[in-house]
Chains A and B, each alone.
Chain A
Amino acid sequence: MAINTQPIVRLKNVCKSYGDTQILKNINLELEAGKFYTLLGPSGCGKTTILRTIAGFTDVTTGDVEFDGQVVNDLPANQRQVNTVFQDYALFPHLNVAENVAFGLKLNKLSKTEIDKRVSEALAMVQLADFGDREISELSGGQQQRVAIARALVMRPKVLLLDEPLSALDAKLRKDMQYELRELQQSLGITFLFVTHDQEEALAMSDEIFVMRAGEILQGGSPVDIYDEPINHFVANFIGESNIIPGKMLQDFQVEFVGKSFECADAGIPPNEAVEVVLRPEDLDIVAAAQGKLVVTVDSQLFRGNYFEIVAYDTDGNEWLVHSTNPADEGEPIGLTFDPQDIHVMRLNETEAAFDARLEKYEDD
């Protein structure tokens, strides 16, 4: 944590309501310069509303939006140093590609040579150098997407907001665009705030992810942190696939589930507290039933190309999802092994602040 770097964007206790419905509940968020951030959550969780409050399309009910330390609550959208890539691209249909990209520059009364130079640079950046004279209706979805990015980046914003920009593209193009966006962000050093409901997209591209549900940020952190140490059931389920098993904390570094005691890496939880245990399907290794820490019976399996997805049940009736490179026999018992650090223990109803405090406490010891 660098102390002297001031966040470029900060939301302080931001709430937003329409009538009686609360869209955002006390959002606190800091974005540092030059990083790739993602707001991740199911549709209707308020992630796009956060984007709109930063862009200035909607005002906050209470709380502050700060930009470089200045409160910008009342600054209209056209004076903010942020630009947006819209979900439906919103490219002006009465202008061609170059005119679309030049739109903002012309408003700034730049000279024609400067505009032409920056437009061709921006189009080259998104690999559409020869497309300046095309009409918007002549472009494919992926090309329109690039024009929208070029139109926003040509303004040299301090922060680029991207509202589910890849959701309208097909799977292959989407993967390619993920790489391109990430590369673009790293080479330009502009802060990106990306909104998506696709956890794979979020994990692949971000420096930091904020997982949202129902107007709240549940957890913020690096993709690895969030994947390895989800704060609660919702995050564990939303990010990747997981086995979430009810258990009981026996003492520090010792947890009980499926009637057995296991060594684990978690501490700071009162003894005998009911907890939930997360085990990722790819962390489970299949061994002979006799050698397994757990014995489960294979119910079904699917071939997924690079792995087998096996569904099995233990004696308590818990479902276990296992990813394995080798197939198992349906109906046969198998043993599962895992390392202590593969076990992640979650307290019920723990807030992010309490979770972070506990983590820091026992990691220092």
Chain B
Amino acid sequence: MQRKQRLSRQIAYFIPYILWIGLFVIAPVVLLVYQSFFDINGHFTLSNYQTYFSSNTYLTMTLNSVWYAFLITFATLVISYPTAYVLNATKHPQLWLLLIIMPTWINLLLKAYAFIGIFSQAGIANQFLHFIGIAPQQILFTKFSFIFVAAYIQIPFMVLPIYNSINELNPSYVNASKDLGATSWQTFSKVIFPLTLPGVKAGVQAVFIPSLSLFMLTRLIGGNKVITLGTAIEEHFLTTMNWGMGSTIGVILIIAMVIIMSLTGGSKRRAKRGMTK
């Protein structure tokens, strides 16, 4: 009897969560899938998917999205891992961590506009180039600036999980590795990196998936030189008003994300052992 009561109370605790998930996650996804089966005139059709898979434009866009998301994630990882590693060795890691997290408190749009100023013809970046004797360059509206700013925005989401996994690493493992004759580099590649892989995976998930659907930065910083699926969705919903096609691309993005999640989360059992004990 008592057990039954406790069970019903536990269910009660879940109600807000279930409501939230239902209203803001499941319902929108269902609506998106439903909408993707209607053409611009409101007729039920499979033509959206047909168009998507037969059109070179969309497939190029998809490849573009994946490629740029990969580049952004890679750049972020290359910067974040050493950062997280060095952070662990500092005296006040929490303070440094706070400094790294702080930019996330500022609105994305504001940061984008700030970079427009920095990268413009008369901006600080070009002033600096002038100072060291290099002629002004076109920085804004290049693929480089797009990847640079996107990586800048994503870095905190990569640093945090990696920092945590390095922080949890038992220092005995490092001593044991050296004791068995490993150099510092061997210790890193054979012990530290494999054991902090769960953090890297979490960081890759947190960066790659949002990077797939970036749309504002492609316009403001990339100058539409880079067209991703995010840009296409925005176009369809706001300009061409072809919501059906926009939803179709949305569904495909969601499927891509699920695939990536299962790929990076797959070997959790083996990776997890580094964290216990």
Asked if residues A55 and B179 are in contact (CB atoms below 8 Å), the reply is yes
Residue on A nearest B175 in the bound complex, by CB: A57
Residue on A nearest B271 in the bound complex, by CB: A94
Residue on A nearest B275 in the bound complex, by CB: A93
Q: A93-B276, A94-B194, A94-B195 are in contact. Are A86 and B181 (CB under 8 A)?
A: no
Q: How many residues in A have their beta carbons less than 8 Å from beta carbons of B? A: 27
Asked if residues B179 and A77 are in contact (CB atoms below 8 Å), the reply is yes
How far apart are the CA atoms of A136 and B276 in the complex, in Å? Answer: 11
CB distance from B171 to the nearest CB of A (A): 9
CB distance from A261 to the nearest CB of B (A): 57
Q: How many residues in B have their beta carbons less than 8 Å from beta carbons of A? A: 23
Residue on A nearest B193 in the bound complex, by CB: A94
Contact of A92 (CB < 8 Å), options: B181, B183, B191: B191
**Which of B151-209 touch A at CB < 8 Å?**
170, 172-173, 175-183, 186, 190-191, 194-195
| B9 at interface by CB-CB < 8 Å | no
How far apart are the CA atoms of A135 and B270 in the complex, in Å? Answer: 10
How far apart are the CA atoms of A335 and B28 in the complex, in Å? Answer: 93
Report chain B residues within 8 Å CB of A78. Answer: 178-183
**Which of A81-107 touch B at CB < 8 Å?**
82-84, 86, 88, 90-94, 103-104, 107
Report chain A residues within 8 Å CB of B186. Answer: 107
Report chain A residues within 8 Å CB of B276. Answer: 93, 137
Asked if residues A136 and B273 are in contact (CB atoms below 8 Å), the reply is yes
| B274 at interface by CB-CB < 8 Å | yes
Q: A107-B186, A108-B181, A137-B273 are in contact. Are A86 and B175 (CB under 8 A)?
A: yes
| B277 at interface by CB-CB < 8 Å | yes
How far apart are the CA atoms of A107 and B182 in the complex, in Å? Answer: 7
Asked if residues B180 and A104 are in contact (CB atoms below 8 Å), the reply is yes
Report chain A residues within 8 Å CB of B183. Answer: 78
Asked if residues B175 and A103 are in contact (CB atoms below 8 Å), the reply is no
CB distance from A181 to the nearest CB of B (A): 18
Asked if residues B180 and A155 are in contact (CB atoms below 8 Å), the reply is yes
**Which of A44-81 touch B at CB < 8 Å?**
55-57, 76-79
**Which of B254-271 touch A at CB < 8 Å?**
270-271
Report chain A residues within 8 Å CB of B170. Answer: 88, 90
Asked if residues B175 and A94 are in contact (CB atoms below 8 Å), the reply is no
| A158 at interface by CB-CB < 8 Å | no
How far apart are the CA atoms of A82 and B195 in the complex, in Å? Answer: 25
| A323 at interface by CB-CB < 8 Å | no
Q: A107-B186, A136-B273, A137-B273 are in contact. Are A90 and B180 (CB under 8 A)?
A: no
Asked if residues A107 and B180 are in contact (CB atoms below 8 Å), the reply is yes
Asked if residues B180 and A151 are in contact (CB atoms below 8 Å), the reply is yes
**Which of B193-250 touch A at CB < 8 Å?**
194-195
Report chain A residues within 8 Å CB of B271. Answer: 94
Further 19 A-B residue pairs, CB within 8 A, beyond A86-B176, A92-B176, A92-B195: A55-B175, A57-B178, A77-B175, A77-B178, A77-B179, A90-B172, A90-B173, A92-B191, A93-B195, A93-B276, A93-B277, A94-B273, A94-B274, A103-B180, A107-B182, A107-B186, A136-B273, A152-B179, A155-B181
Interface residues of B (CB under 8 A from A): 170, 172-173, 175-183, 186, 190-191, 194-195, 270-271, 273-274, 276-277
A-B contact pairs, 7 of them (CB 8 A): A77-B178, A78-B183, A93-B274, A103-B190, A104-B180, A104-B181, A136-B273
